[in-house]
Structure 1
Amino acid sequence: MTGYGQQTALFAPRLAGMGHDVVVSAYYGLQGAALHWGGLEVWPGGEDPHGNDIVGPYARRHLDDDGLIVTLLDLWVMMKTVGMRQHRVAAWIPVDHDPVPPQTVMALAHHEAQPIAMSRFGERMLQDAGFDPVYVPHGIDTHVYQPQDRAAVRAALGIPESAFLVGMVAANKGTAPPRKAFPQALMAFAEFRRTHPDALLYLHTELLGGPTHIGMDLLHYMRQIGLPESAVRTVDQDAYAMGLPPQYLAAAYSAMDVLLSPSYCEGFGIPIVEAQACGTPVIVNGFSSMPELCGAGWQCEGERAWNELMQAWFQQPDVGSIVACLEQAYSAAGDPDMGRRAREFALSYDADRVAADYWKPALEQVGG
């Protein structure tokens, strides 16, 4: 399930439980006919990959004149939406560049949408761009993502109890550059392991860049940088493609000594919070939303880089700085205080708390 799908699954039922009449428009993953899920009606996607052709008709069918459309995606992909402007729009949007990319500014103006920032970074960038955003962070189910018995989950995953386990949970998409910073992260781990032969890397991702080659061939890259196969564990690729339950991922986080997540940019960064909910500290890039999500862990440094596609800045993480963070994580491995701080921090993003403390007042403010 995608990050957007996770958030929809968490919050659509909770908003309905607050008394709102909620219908979900699934522009991806459902075709042909509507279905009922968790007491909610879910409408299928159309011909357009981002729902431009169906959101307007669905809104006219379901909403009265005062109804509200809440979007959860990069709004600029919906500039050709038919009929959406006839309704009020609140856009729960990722902002992961500095400044807000011009296409996002244009889309918000086009739809006359109320922006909902999913990070404090995004809130600041939207304010700098002249908007008055509402803040609602992403959330997680902290009953699923919680610390598990380390020895048991390591045995189940085939990880030696004595290993220092570094994990990456990241979608392998994009090559110019790979936004999740696979080249820098893997190179840093390879360098770190030269002096720490007990270190293992667990990759929870698609290894070959997907059937349409939209990402990196990670196996080839690891051979090029001299990272031996014996130092790497990977998620079962068939199971990953078919979809693994969140309980599996919670076990993987609990087996790690640290999550390595130094992306070029993040609109939010759900794995960063999930890992901490399982008592695992994190290494993040010191840019966009990531610093505010690092309750227990370390921030690597980097160099601002221009993203021509988005006409804004993101940050390339520095390999040497990642290595230094891995050294600090190695020294702190097994520190129970670090695990407690990680868990306590992540509880502030529990989905029930986010619904009550942020979604309820946000919808009151926008008039939903």
Structure 2
Amino acid sequence: MKIGIDYTVGVYQGSGIGRYTRVLAHALAAVDHENEYTLLWARAYGQGGRELPRLDRASSFPPNFRARRLPLTNRALTAGWHRLRLPVPVEALSGPLDVLHAPDFVAPPTRRARRIVTIHDLTFLVVPQYAHPPLRAYLGRAVPHNVQSADHIFADSEATRRDLIRLLGVAEERISVVHVAAEARFHPFTEEERAAGRRTLAGAGVPDGPYFLTVGTLEPRKNHIGLLRAFARLRRLGAPHRLVIAGQPGWGFEPIFAAVERHGLAEVVTFLDFFPDPLLPALYACADLLILPSFYEGFGIPLLEAMGSGTPAVVADRPSLPEIAGGAARLVDPDDHTALTEAIWTLLHDAGAREELRRRGLERVRDFAPRRLAELVVARYRALA
């Protein structure tokens, strides 16, 4: 069987979908030595016309995997396939395929290949006020079309599966829930590893001392402003921690910086933009708590990585975080800043509760093993072909 994977996001994107795609491809490579895989990618450019940094050159795969760079840029292909809907089949560029898996919401047209599309969330429909207006308009046109034309759909979570059925009328049998896989590199650190990690983090801009961590693009949906309000109260209560915010600026990020100034937190909040991916395990393992008060998440990769690292987490009680936590995180209403403050403060002063969350998190993360993800995906490829 010949399987194509749209791998452009895996090559370039550092945020959740890019990491999901990279982990999936490498997990497939570890378990499936029978089928032939083609990782299709197109060059992507940023402002100023420079190619974006490549996070995976798709060169460390076994012989049944090959990478194929498409002749046009990602921007040109997106415009042609998804905005203009030009009926040029991907096989004209890739060669024959039996299955095409598009892990980023939309799939190009195919000649005969069966198409699988991964839908990570329906932010633009569920909480449209937290979706970037141009992206909301694009996804509002592209996603319903791709969902209806796909042969099968992968959803990151049960919550997203329910949203697909409720909001887009997708039949249940056309959807499989395939969770994001946990990477083995996220694990608890020994005291020696923690000390070495702190030295490395210091060189990457993380000051010495205890810190709370939040990870995610700087945008309204992530509720950074609510977190900053709670953090300001925690500092007044005497918490010695810094707040480390790891994530690139997205749309509507300016009020986040304004909130830091308004609350007088400039000296105790650290922003990490373009943080080196190899240092992420240390960033999680050395944090005292992960705080993720998002208004909506299709999955919540930072929670998975924190659980794998043995770092207790306080997260919003909104989809899909309770599902992913499975009882291994402290849940809180993201609209209630007082409750958020109290949840963090209480956990900070209860070593037994932190240790219990740590234990539960390490147990829960086993449910997201990469091998399990890959076996589910290969089984669906075979059933579809």
Distance 2:235 2:77 in 1: 42
In the TM superposition, what are the counterparts of 1:171-320 in structure 2 within 5 Å? Answer: 171-172=217-218, 174=219, 178-206=220-248, 209=249, 215-216=253-254, 218-227=256-265, 229-235=266-272, 237=273, 240=274, 244-246=276-278, 248-295=279-326, 296-302=328-334, 317-320=335-338
2:9 paired residue number:
none
Task: Choose the corresponding residue for 1:37, options 55, 59, 66.
Answer: 59
Task: Choose the corresponding residue for 1:170, options 200, 216, 223.
Answer: 216
Give the total of aligned pairs.
Answer: 326
CA separation of 1:2 and 1:25: change in aligned 2, threshold 3 A: farther
In the TM superposition, what are the counterparts of 1:22-33 in structure 2 within 5 Å? Answer: 22-27=37-42, 29=44
Task: Choose the corresponding residue for 1:157, options 178, 201, 205.
Answer: 201
Task: Choose the corresponding residue for 1:139, options 160, 165, 181.
Answer: 181
Deviation per CA, 1:261-301: give whole Å up to 9, x if none. Answer: 11121111111100110001112111111111224221111
Q: How far apart are 1:69 and its partner, in Å?
A: 1.6
Higher helix share: 2
Distance 1:53 1:252 in 2: 40
Task: Choose the corresponding residue for 2:365, options 342, 346, 351.
Answer: 346
Name the aligned partner's letter for residue 186 of structure 1: L
Deviation per CA, 1:320-343: give whole Å up to 9, x if none. Answer: 221122123212347433322212
Other structure's SS at 2:90 match: helix
CA separation of 1:36 and 1:106: change in aligned 2, threshold 3 A: closer
2:383 paired residue number:
365
Name the aligned partner's letter for residue 153 of structure 1: G
Deviation per CA, 1:21-80: give whole Å up to 9, x if none. Answer: 222233564779xx752233142452536735379543334354x7222111233xx6xx
CA separation of 1:109 and 1:10: change in aligned 2, threshold 3 A: closer
Deviation per CA, 1:96-149: give whole Å up to 9, x if none. Answer: 45769865762245424411111111122223334221111111212x110113
Q: Do the aligned residues in 1 keep the contact of 2:68 with 2:94 (CA within 8 Å)?
A: no
Q: Do the aligned residues in 1 keep the contact of 2:181 with 2:369 (CA within 8 Å)?
A: yes
Task: Choose the corresponding residue for 1:88, options 111, 114, 124.
Answer: 114
In the TM superposition, what are the counterparts of 1:110-129 in structure 2 within 5 Å? Answer: 110-128=148-166, 129=169
Deviation per CA, 1:220-272: give whole Å up to 9, x if none. Answer: 32011232x3322343x4xx2xx5133x1110111111111111211111111
- CA RMSD after TM alignment: 3.1
Distance 1:276 1:108 in 2: 33
Q: Do the aligned residues in 2 keep the contact of 1:116 with 1:134 (CA within 8 Å)?
A: yes
Q: Do the aligned residues in 2 keep the contact of 1:265 with 1:287 (CA within 8 Å)?
A: yes
